[in-house]
């Protein structure tokens, strides 16, 4: 059966810590390959507005009603602008999956947050409140956080929307666009 | 036979005439659907640097050796920043196809150039020096200008790299990215 539902992948662009804002790109893909839409917003580097910006981007999109799930590359954008995916799901009605290649190292994250942020406890709480699940792929395993969706369904969607490598096409494409528009040419792995 | 060669589609972003520069996006697609790279440059609105910027973007790309053809949405970028495709082909070694939905109206173009540019004759000469061919598609016909490639080969490539509608995927995707990153959400037809 050919998969024809739409997913939105989200990734942030490369940035320097002296930058105030960083571009965040959303890619809407039908099935496992057909790019239908490109969205862009900006979030503050190490800021606190990721949720507001993402829910705005999703809710204002003409694709909102059609998106089965949003997949975010990572649990934070622009450094430690952490995404509360439970709240994002609540605010948009669209289930959310965060995807990382490596299992988050909470000890390291905690120590980095403590060092840099007065409100480190709040950020740490958001980052750690969702259970992280390990999903096998044909390549390396990936690690996901979930809101509004079961692990079983998330696994199915990730499998159906991944064409090559370990990451769903939406996430791979969002990464290509975010790096390309910022650096002049896309590079690296999502 | 599955088409696996790479093409690069190029489109400019929407702009206002008071803008100094406009974003120009290159999309590298393998076969008729797999996005492999995203490139970006900027050209001056109504400027004269389109050739220099495009050849720089193409020659600096790690995909240059692999690109069979570059397909540009239109014969000029950022208004009347006209592209000399013969020169672009000479400077990059990559054949070039310009694609427009409508047949260019040279009377209208001439009168617009005369009105706005001191160097209108030079721009008009560049725009008109390539013969324009009409190509039938499953949808509406398109009009192409060619450099470094025969009409026959251009027709084959356009047919093989078009998935839906009248335009090759590279051009469609470059358009989605260029409008999306500028306006917040992609829209309209390439």
pLDDT in tens, B58-83: 999 999 999 999 999 999 999 999 99
Ramachandran quadrant class, B160 (left: phi over 0; alpha: psi -120 to 50; beta: rest) = alpha
| Chain B interface disruption, residue of A181, A182, A183, A189, most B CBs within 10 A | A181
The predicted model scores a pTM of: 0.96
Out of A33, A41, A184, name the one closest to residue B40 (CB): A184
pLDDT score, position A118: 97
- Which chain A residues are within 8 Å of B170, Cβ to Cβ? none
ipTM for the complex shown: 0.94
> Are the Cβ atoms of A181 and B41 closer than 8 angstroms?
no
Is the CB of B181 inside 8 Å of chain A's CB atoms?
yes
The angle, 0 to 180 degrees and rounded to 10, between the axes of the packed helices A120-128 and A106-116 is 160
Looking at residue B17, its pLDDT comes to: 83
Nearest to A40 among B34, B61, B180 (CB): B180
Per-residue pLDDT of chain A (190 residues; tens, 9 = 90+): 467 999 999 999 999 989 999 999 999 999 989 999 999 999 999 999 999 999 999 999 999 999 999 999 999 999 999 999 999 999 999 999 999 999 999 999 999 999 999 999 999 999 999 999 999 998 899 999 999 999 999 999 999 999 988 999 999 999 999 999 999 999 887 7
Burial grade of A71 (CB within 10 A; 0-12, 13-18, 19 or more): buried
Model confidence at B149, pLDDT cuts 50, 70, 90, reads very high
**Contact check, Cβ <8 Å, A40/B173:** no
Report the pLDDT averaged over residues B133-153: 95
Window 17-56 of B: residues touching A by CB (8 A cutoff) are 23, 25, 33-41
CB B38 to CB A184 under 8 A?
no
Strands A96-100 and A67-73: parallel
Closest CA to B129 of B89, B166, B174: B89
Average predicted confidence (pLDDT) for chain B: 95
Determine the pLDDT at residue A2: 65
Centre a 10 Å sphere on the Cβ of residue A91 and count the other Cβ atoms it contains: 16
B173 and A35 in contact by Cβ < 8 A? yes
Are the beta carbons of A140 and A95 closer than 8 angstroms?
A: no
Distances in whole angstroms, Cα of residue A69 to Cα of each of A81, A131, B169: 21, 18, 25
Burial grade of A94 (CB within 10 A; 0-12, 13-18, 19 or more): buried
B61 touching A (Cβ < 8 Å): yes
Contacts of B135 (CB under 8 A, 6+ apart): B141, B142, B143, B144, B154, B155, B158
CB contact under 8 A, B180 and A35: no
| pLDDT one-digit tens code per residue, B1-51 | 467 999 999 999 999 989 999 999 999 999 989 999 999 999 999 999 999
DSSP string, B145-190: EEESS-HHHHHHHHHHH--SSSS-HHHHHHHHHHHHHHHSB--S--
Q: Residue B86 and residue A16: Cα distance in Å, rounded?
A: 39
Q: How many helices (H) and strands (E) are present in chain A, helices listed first?
A: 6, 9
Distance CA A4, CA B141 (A): 28
Nearest to A176 among B35, B60, B182 (CB): B35
Mutate which: A25, A33, A59, A185, vs B, most B CBs within 10 A:
A185
C-alpha dist (Å) from residue A4 to A34, A36, B74, B96 = 9, 12, 31, 34
Using the beta-carbon criterion (under 8 Å), do B184 and A35 form an inter-chain contact?
no
* pLDDT for B108 beyond 80: yes
**Closest residue on chain A to B23 (Cα):** A181
Within 8 A of B163 by CB-CB distance, chain A residues are 34
Partners of B69 in the β-ladder: B7
Between the CA of residue B183 and those of A11, A178, B14, B23, B179, what are the distances in Å?
18, 15, 8, 12, 6
Contacts of B180 in chain A (CB under 8 A): 25, 37-40, 177
| Alpha-carbon A101 to chain mean position | 12
């Amino acid at each position: 059966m050919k998969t024809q539902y739409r997913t939105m992948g989200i990734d942030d662009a490369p940035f320097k810590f002296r930058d105030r804002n960083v571009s965040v790109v959303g890619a809407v893909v039908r099935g496992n390959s057909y790019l239908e839409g490109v969205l862009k917003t900006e979030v503050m580097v190490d800021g606190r507005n990721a949720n507001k910006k993402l829910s705005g981007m999703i809710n204002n999109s003409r694709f909102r009603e059609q998106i089965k799930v949003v997949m975010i590359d990572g649990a934070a954008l622009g450094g430690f602008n952490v995404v509360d995916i439970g709240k994002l799901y609540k605010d948009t009605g669209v289930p959310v999956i965060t995807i990382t290649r490596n299992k988050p190292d909470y000890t390291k994250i905690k120590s980095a947050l403590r060092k840099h942020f007065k409100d480190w406890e709040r950020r740490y709480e958001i980052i750690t409140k969702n259970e992280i699940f390990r999903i096998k792929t044909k390549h390396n395993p990936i690690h996901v956080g979930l809101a509004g969706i079961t692990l079983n369904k998330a696994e199915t969607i990730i499998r159906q929307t991944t064409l090559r490598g370990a990451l769903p096409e939406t996430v791979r494409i969002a990464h290509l666009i975010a790096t390309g528009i910022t650096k002049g040419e896309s590079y690296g792995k999502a």
